[in-house]
A and B are shown apart, each in its own frame.
Chain A
Amino acid sequence: MQQTIITQALLLLLAFYPAAAGQNHFHSDDSTSPDGPASIFRAIEQGLARGDERIFSVFFSRTVSLNVRGNSPGYYSANQAGQVLRHFLASRKIPSFRFTTLESDDHPFATGSATMTVGGRIERFQVYAGLTRDKSGWVISQFNIY
């Protein structure tokens, strides 16, 4: 009987904690940068260069205007935008990336270009990232990779 309860409890915890885990993405209060736009742009540079979107996807606003090469442009949830970028970066290698234009006024944005390797081919790409101020800080509201 004890074994039964233990098994049940373990299975239930296994089953429901993953389901519950996703909820932290339904609010963006903890996904802003206290350091301002510059640190977010830096995170994007690092994330792209390392092929790890998680470095900057935490800064996505709840709804992101996303336009990534090979995907339908449009408004995506932060969760979805992260997954789309993960899929995009999984099949591409970006040796390095730096923004060349950085604007940090009331509507900060940054643009830059670099090259990436896709299945043996080298392609040039452009990045545009736009930020807006949320209730508690700056968030990425627009992200484009052409």
Chain B
Amino acid sequence: MKSVLAFILPPGIFLLLLAGLFIAGDRSLGEADSDWPRISREQRQTLDAQLRQLFAAYQDEAHAASQKAAAAILMTGRDATGAASQGELFAALGEGGLQGLTLEYYDTAGVLNAWTGPGGPDLAPGALNGMHRSYLDEGPINSYLVIIVPVYRNERVTGHVVAKRLFTVNHPVDNRFISSHAAATSFQSIVGDEAGLELQFRVLTPRNDNRASLTGGAEGNTGDAETFIVPLKSVDGRDIVYVLAPAPGRGSYIELIRGEFSRWEGLALSGFLISLIVVAAWRFRKSAGGLIYQSVLLGSLWVLRYLLVALDLPGNSEVGDLFDPGLFASSFGYGAAKSAGDMFFSGALLAITLAVLVRKVVAAEVPPVVSTGGDVRIGAARAVAGVAGFALLIGLLGPLSRGFFAVIQSVVFDSRIDLNDPRMVYPGLTTGSLLFGALLLVFALFLGGMLFILGARRSLCRFIRDGARGRGWIAIAAASVASSLLFDLLHPNPLGTPVQRLAMLTGFIGLSYLAVGWSRQGTTPGPARTFLVVSLSSAAVLVAALDSKVHDHDKVLIEAVVRDIARPESAWMAYVLNESLTTLSEGAAARVLRAGNARATGKLAFGAWAGSILATEGNTCSVTFVDIEGSVVSHFHAGPAPHWSREMPMDEMPRSTRFTSRESRSIRGRTSPWYKGYAPIFTPDSQFAGGVWVGIAPNDAEKILGQDLDLLASPQKFENRRPVRKVLLAEYSDGRLVSGFDDDLSIGRRLPAGTDSGLVEADGRWVSEYFGGDEYETYYLRTTGRTVLGVSLESLDAGWHFYSYSRYILFFTSIFLLGAGLYGLWRATRARPSRPSFKTTLTAAFAVVSLIPVILLAYYNRVSLQQEAERSTDEFLKSETDLVLNEIQGRMGMTVPYELAGYTDETLEEIAGVLNTQVHLYNGAYLIGSSRSELFVAELIDRRLPAGAFAGVCLSGMNFYSEEQTVGSVRYLVGYRPVRAQTGEVIGVVAVPSLSRQGMIETDLARRDVILYGIYILVLAVALVVGTGIANQIARPVRRLTMAARQVATGDLDVRLETGRRDEIGELETAFQGMTSDLKTVQERMVKVERELAWKEMAKQVAHEIKNPLTPMRLSVQHLVSAYQKGGAGFAEVLKSVSSTVLEQIDALSRIASEFSAFARLPERRLDLCAVHEVINEAAGLYHREGVRFATSFVPGEPRVKADREELRRAFINIFRNSVQAAQSDVSISVSTRTEGSILVISITDNGPGMTREILGRLFEPNFSTKTDGMGIGLTIVRKTIEDLNGSVGVESTPGEGTTVRIRLPLADRDDG
């Protein structure tokens, strides 16, 4: 009952779950249909509660921080007027610091005294009115929650602490510079995504404080979508923001529910199928056993795998990057590897499948190739078999080699993950899954290769031994070859050279024979060693292949980008320009321009850019909105772009006419084609409202050169796969360099010999060459008749290879160690804790001892490297700020405050271009201008000087100050220097960010990291090798002693342990040697005594046994002599009788001799598969003739055991004879068989007199017999025979009721033999 439950329960649970889901789904759908108002109401209530709770927590956190800051301000030291110094105020605000929170302190006059944090909007007029309040400031780019906490001293307001916290980001751009940490984003993910709602956040304004206006009509149904409104309250209890949740209407809701239930039903169905397969296979194992059950199990799992693929489970939108085909998607596996996660699952399943098969083949007896000698048929069969076996290998290795090379190729080429990115020393979940999946696939392919070799070898042996039964596999070989050839014909193999395939075949053969060899040496270490060697081989091959293929992929990407650059851009750029003009002029621009709200209008250009194709494409561009007079009202540019509207006054252009044009421009010394256009903007009632200018440059070159770091594109096209190696771009005309993007490329340089004439348009060429002493690989492509583009990729040096190898080795080693740990844990849970050997313990101790200093060293080095990088960047910033300051002061002549105000974005861009840097200029605490003004326009950087810089440079008078800042998720250092008037007074601050250097710094740090990690791994490897050697040295004598002790335990006392050591181990060995010597002497004496005793016993027994028949013989002969002497007619009768008696006794003597002989003899056993029922019937047949009645009850089928057929038959004869002799007359024997799992139970019951308990106890003792003519060794031989077959024999008997002999024998596996 218990076992039945165990089988039914798992699938039953899933079935119940599935049924429950069906019922629940049906009910939910029914309810949605019939009770929609209630569901809708409940949705509102839940949504309302969740959003209120989230907002309250978000607001309370900022509120508490501002209250803490207010308390700290009160605690500051104060002068007679009660005002603290500005430095103290900065320090006090710092105490309320919270990540992403801006805190400001305003005095009673509303003057900002101190601040900290990333910044925020200006305060609303009249906000500082001594009231404790909060409100939401809705800006065109970002919206902030603003909390105002008055600071009271002696019941008098002495100032206000203001907290500003980002609430929403009002544009769609999202990249590593603008990674949104807004509260609304987290509300959406926590509440909105969970409920399938797209939330909108609207600020309460006089215009929309009427709820109805928010939804454009009545709150409630608007088509299929119902809009819920949730008001969120300020700290003083007023509604300050409305959350609009356009929840699905009844129809959409039903679709949503159906989709959700379908997903869960799919998972439950999968669970049901998996458990059913596992349970059925487990059950099947009991009756079928062996490979069949495993094949069924694995086959079913494969079917299930593809079922999940068909159902698109687990689905790629729910689990992020792991199942995102945008990061990795291979076509192989018919959809079973369309993401990194799928790759892992498929790899794991394939590896398990192959591991099971290889284990079976290796573990099974490998049949020897036997020659029957002189048989002509076998010679011919060998030839046929050889040819067919070869064909089998070639036929099956075809798809294998294809699969192998496809895996390697696909992992790199079907991926947007840079597997060699030095910034990622250890792979994350997605990359790790991809790499591990690839390792599993390669591991499986290695096992597959071994399986082909072993299978072919085994089939060959089988065929040569028994040709008639081997026809089937020839058919399989033929089918394999045919299908492989057909496959090759349909899909020619583009991968893997013949040399590579030959190397692969050689590797497979070598591994196969190693595996077989280890398997023969012993069962325990064989599989483990095979697993280890195949794993290491797979990892080595994969690491080498990846290292090479990643480089190839870089080159393929370079080719693609070069082709993009070379392509006439007119079509694409014109499309982008026209699309953006249309989007920008048709959006909300007309309304904003008409409304004339300065704040909204000012940010119009950025918002419009962010929502257009310009942001998606990420080109260098400019967007400028002008009013109906042609005056600029909003401007934004990404990258160094010209201000078209300023260059082309509207007076010269038709204001209401759209136009586009193309021209060449020189920006920062480089000439580039520019596409510019203008589109008028009209209101819905066709009123002219203004216009928009767009300029755009096709800057693929900048992208490939990594110069797009500062661009705000969302997301960046090359973010995932920008080559980290140095890239140079050059343009040649008539064979001479006309423009280059690096100092190492000198104008006028000639194209490499033969390149110019050898290039055919649209067909590039790779050339190796040197620039500035470094080796590069350059891809040359002819763009027009005379122009050639060359993109050079820094060659891979040994350091790069070392780096990539180190990374992969680090990852695979950690995976291996994790696997070993899990295996150990599993062993522990199975109550079979593995006991590490003395040598393993020593090696582990060495590893740990060497690991600790290496880790400490690594940590120290890492910290030192970071400090060094910071120092280096600091020095760089000191020098850059100094240069900028000199340039500014040089331009000003006399440094007076009002002249600083003359510095605009344009002049600072010019200075930055001259000095090849970036610069921000502050007048006091506020920004005057910047060479990267778009970063301020986009509100990525606060226009206010950071608190630390202000305190350091302006308040403390430092000549240089630097601090780390964050834009999105990018951290970088900024250097600040004061601009001083001649009086020494600080009138401004120059800031230089290291943003443009950041990529270089990160790469450099990562490369150094990697080299160091490589060295550490090398040190660890050396430590492990040396440690293993030393451990071996220490453990060897102990192991020798252990082995010697084991030999002694088996009776071998001839062990020699003379190593000549003079230490404690040597003494131990000498003592052991003395002990074995003494033992041997004692043993020899004992053996001699035992032998004598045995001989005596044997002689006594033989004499006794011989004497028994001799006595009747003597009496008979005496009787015969007496009869002869007496004479008479009866002599003939006497002679007959006596002769009979003598002959009987002679037979008895002969039998005694035979039994002694049988007992002593150990005949060669010939094991084969024996049909047990046949053997029983044969043995019973002997007694049928003597009138013994047999009744059989056999289990269906023909159970087979592995045994010597003759020996087994003798055992049954012995048992039957005992029964016959015991019963004497009217003998009846019943024989029955049954199976218990893999055991065959044979019961033989007679109708004899039975036995007492005493007799039963001695039944199998040699020489024990209840018969007068028996030797008492029959049953002893029976027991020996059965036990030698790994079986057991037992006897049950009750006096007067007969006896039952029960034999238990292991059934043979199907593949035995």
Contact = CB atoms under 8 A, between A and B. Distances in A.
B563 interface: yes
A17 B487 contact: yes
B571 A6 contact: no
Contact of A18 (B334, B410, B452): B334
Given A5-B459, A73-B717, A63 B560 contact: yes
Interface string B397-415: 0011011111101100111
A111 to B, nearest CB: 6
Contacts of B299: 11, 14
A73 B338 CA distance: 18
Contacts of B721: 74-75
A73 B329 CA distance: 15
Contact of A84 (B251, B329, B334): B329
A11 B409 contact: no
Nearest to B494: A27
B619 to A, nearest CB: 12
Chain B facing A: main interface SS: helix
A111 B575 contact: yes
B291 A7 contact: yes
Contact of B1311 (A4, A62, A74, A90): A4
B459 to A, nearest CB: 6
B959 interface: no
Interface string B1222-1258: 0000000000000000000000000000000000000
B1087 interface: no
A80 B572 contact: no
Nearest to A113: B579
B317 to A, nearest CB: 8
Contacts of B221: none
A141 B572 contact: no
Contacts of A15: 302, 350, 353-354, 444, 448
Contacts of A62: 556
B325 A87 contact: yes
A19 B414 contact: no
Contacts of A8: 357, 361, 451, 455
Interface in A95-119: 103, 106-107, 109, 111, 119
A137 B452 CA distance: 40
B768 interface: no
Contact of A26 (B302, B361, B413, B559): B413
B399 A17 contact: yes
A22 B560 CA distance: 22
Interface size class of A (residues with CB under 8 A): 35 or more
Interface string B291-322: 11001001100100000000010001100000
Nearest to A74: B717
Interface in A3-47: 3-9, 11-27
Contacts, number: 213
B396 interface: yes
B516 interface: no
Given A8-B357, A11-B298, A73-B616, A120 B224 contact: yes
Contacts of B334: 18, 21
A34 B668 CA distance: 46
B255 interface: yes
A26 B252 contact: no
Interface string B434-466: 000000010011001001100100010010000
B563 A80 contact: no
A120 B252 contact: yes
B808 interface: no
Interface size class, chain B: 35 or more
Given A12-B396, A80-B326, A107-B567, A20 B332 contact: yes
A19 B407 contact: yes
Interface in B463-500: 469, 472-473, 476, 480, 483, 487, 491, 493-495
B718 A23 contact: no
A73 B326 CA distance: 9
B1166 to A, nearest CB: 19
Contacts of A79: 329-331, 410, 413-414
B476 A6 contact: yes
A17 B472 CA distance: 22
A123 B719 CA distance: 27
Contacts of A11: 295, 298-299, 353, 357
B568 interface: yes
A19 B616 contact: no
B448 to A, nearest CB: 6
Given A6-B472, A74-B721, A130 B572 contact: yes
A84 B327 CA distance: 9
A94 to B, nearest CB: 18
Contacts of B491: 20-21, 23-24
Given A7-B292, A79-B410, A109-B575, A19 B402 contact: yes
Interface of A: 1-9, 11-27, 62-63, 65, 67, 71-77, 79-80, 82-84, 86-87, 90-91, 103, 106-107, 109, 111, 119-120, 126, 128, 130, 132-133, 135, 141-142, 146
Which 7 A-B pairs have CB atoms at the shortest separation, nearest pair first? A22-B332, A19-B403, A83-B329, A20-B402, A83-B325, A22-B331, A63-B560
7 contacts: A2-B473, A23-B405, A26-B406, A26-B410, A62-B556, A73-B617, A128-B572
